[in-house]
Structure 1
Amino acid sequence: MQLAFIGLGTMGRPMVEHILAADIQTRCSRIKPVSEYLLERGAVAASSPAEAARDADIVILMLPDTPDVEAVLFGPDGVAETLTEGSLVIDMSSISPVATKEFARRIKDMGAGYLDAPVSGGDVGARAASLSIMAGGSEADFERALPVLKLMGKNITRVGDVGAGQVCKVANQVIVGLTIEAVSEAFLLAERAGADVAKVRDALMGGFAQSRILEVHGQRMIDGAFEPGFAMRLHRKDLNIAHDVARSLDFSLPNTASTIQLMNAGLSQGLADKDHSALLSVLRNISPGGNAAS
């Protein structure tokens, strides 16, 4: 198998590591200094997405946003210039479901398959190969992709046709974002009231409030360890996608909207590239003073 992987960010790098460990020949586009160690593990450098995709059986994208995916697929030196008929594009980015359907249509018109397969689990899941992968596409394309997806994830589900994976990911991001906001409010309450936040977290982990967010991001908040992870600016992008879908279908997501506004405040405070768990810092900054209760 010849595979191309485009998008060597915080998530993409460990995902490629798992693919290389399975002895799959992999070409990677635009390798920066932080990614050069992948060459020592067997990756082949490509100067452009077009070069990476040339003769590839499977092309995987792991990019920040919808315009990035469009540019890599259809821009100058893009994947579409060299995509082989019968190959399969797997977009593991988190982007607009509407745009995904259009991208898939254009790729299918070229005689290739298309699967949208966004992930959840953050950098921790990427490193552990335990990502949740939610896929949209035909049954045949999903089955073809499954052996490669299993190298990167554990909970792998075909949700429906093309675009359904992105809808599922947006729903996931709503739950994650609002839960981070809830944990942040709870921790701010505890610290302003003079409680030991670490002990509060330990107590909550034994009750009905326990969650993966409280476990992982709650510890990040206690430690002040806000290096991403998953950057706040990217989570805001995902929540904006949810908001746009709701607006296009004429319904309301009021708590999603309020969390977007908090993340807007975070970006104005210089937290764009901090982990989304830094939402606690946002709440602290907009709630100055408030000495702990005696």
Structure 2
Amino acid sequence: MTVLAFIGLGIMGGPMAANLVKAGYDVIGYDTNHSALASLQNLGGRSAGSIAQAVTDADVVITMLPDSPDVQAVALGEEGIYANARAGTLHIDCSSIRPDIAQQLARRATDLGLRAVDAPVSGGEVGAIEALLSIMVGGQPDDVSEAQQILQHVGSTIVHVGPHGAGQTVKAANQLIVAGTIQLVAEAIVFLEAYGVDTTAAVKVLAGGLAGNAILDRKVTSMLQRDFTPGFRIDLHHKDMGILTSAARDAGVIIPLGSHVAQLIASLRASGHGQLDHTALLLLVERLSGRDLQSAKV
């Protein structure tokens, strides 16, 4: 039985680890949240008291962490993955981090006789629970092929998009499209409500035409109800848009709409809404339109 160490059992990591347990893997979890560890144990997984303990006997290590510094600390620290994993261990990083950091980690792994791929995911909490994530993978073909055998149990679309760092580059593009789409759906909702249109009926017909998108399919009901319980927090999307705008600047690519949406997300975060779901961009549209804010359910 393949032994998997899974580090980071949050909104996304917890369901992903659970699905790997269901698939028959021996999963050893580590997280600073003890209730998350208990949940994994209740499903048949194991828990570790440290990163070092989690990875020592693992064949594969998966990380799902908030940001680049978190992944660097977990991978490169004295008690981290690379200092304690066995030679040949495969590190699959499913976090969303800077492409250049993913490349640096891959080089360091190679120097130490380990292997690494970047495999960020898209699909939110529902996608993680239902094992329907879209996963973009960067790395060496043989390593990616091995990673795909595991990732098929947490995602439905798994694509090798290029060398190390390419997965993170594609994820940045994904976050650009998601943020822009949420903003446009939010604007459409406020526009429709201003005219007293039956928004449920309107959304149905919009979703069936050229305007159809995953936000209308998966997120619009909660948006109409002003339920912004976090599936993917504003704080995290703010981080991702920072990665995007920085990478675009480095490449000399102009993203006027993306930069504008990044500023809207930053504004919402600065207003104290960083812990809400990213669909809370609707609140900002209401505010800018001078309409009464409706209470968000959190």
Equivalence map 1:141-180=2 (5 Å): 141-180=143-182
Cα-to-partner distance string for 1:145-176 (whole Å, 9 max, x where unaligned)? 12211110111100011111111111111111
Alignment partner of 1:138 out of 137, 140, 160: 140
Q: Which amino acid aligns with 1:49?
A: I
Equivalence map 1:80-229=2 (5 Å): 80-229=82-231
Matched, 1:34 2:48: no
User: Contact 2:29–2:40 (CA<8 Å) still a contact in 1?
Assistant: no
Report the Cα offset of residue 31 of structure 1.
5.2
Matched, 1:18 2:16: no
Q: TM-score, normalised by structure 2?
A: 0.94
User: Contact 1:31–1:45 (CA<8 Å) still a contact in 2?
Assistant: no
Q: Which amino acid aligns with 1:159?
A: V
Report the Cα offset of residue 264 of structure 1.
1.2
What does residue 65 of structure 1 align with?
67
Alignment partner of 1:253 out of 247, 252, 255: 255
Q: Which amino acid aligns with 2:159?
A: T
Moved more, 65-74 or 281-290: 281-290
User: Contact 1:50–1:80 (CA<8 Å) still a contact in 2?
Assistant: no
User: Alignment partner of 1:114: what SS?
Assistant: strand
Find the aligned partners of 2:274 and 2:291 in 1 and give their Cα distance: 24
Alignment partner of 2:56 out of 54, 57, 77: 54
Q: What RMSD, in angstroms, separates the aligned Cα atoms of the two structures?
A: 1.3
Equivalence map 1:72-83=2 (5 Å): 72-83=74-85
Find the aligned partners of 1:12 and 1:115 in 2 and give their Cα distance: 17
Q: Which amino acid aligns with 2:67?
A: D
What does residue 9 of structure 1 align with?
10
Find the aligned partners of 2:121 and 2:256 in 1 and give their Cα distance: 25
Q: Which amino acid aligns with 2:54?
A: A
Find the aligned partners of 1:185 and 1:34 in 2 and give their Cα distance: 38
Find the aligned partners of 1:155 and 1:203 in 2 and give their Cα distance: 27
Report the Cα offset of residue 273 of structure 1.
1.1
Q: Which amino acid aligns with 1:21?
A: K
Find the aligned partners of 1:207 and 1:196 in 2 and give their Cα distance: 17
Find the aligned partners of 1:32 and 1:266 in 2 and give their Cα distance: 27
Q: TM-score, normalised by structure 1?
A: 0.95
Q: Percent identity?
A: 40
Specify every segment of 5 or more residues in structure 2 that has no aligned partner in the other structure, as ranges: 293-298
Find the aligned partners of 1:266 and 1:48 in 2 and give their Cα distance: 36
Q: Which amino acid aligns with 1:86?
A: G
What does residue 231 of structure 1 align with?
233
Cα-to-partner distance string for 1:157-213 (whole Å, 9 max, x where unaligned)? 000111111111111111111010111111111112222222221221222111111
User: Alignment partner of 1:142: what SS?
Assistant: helix
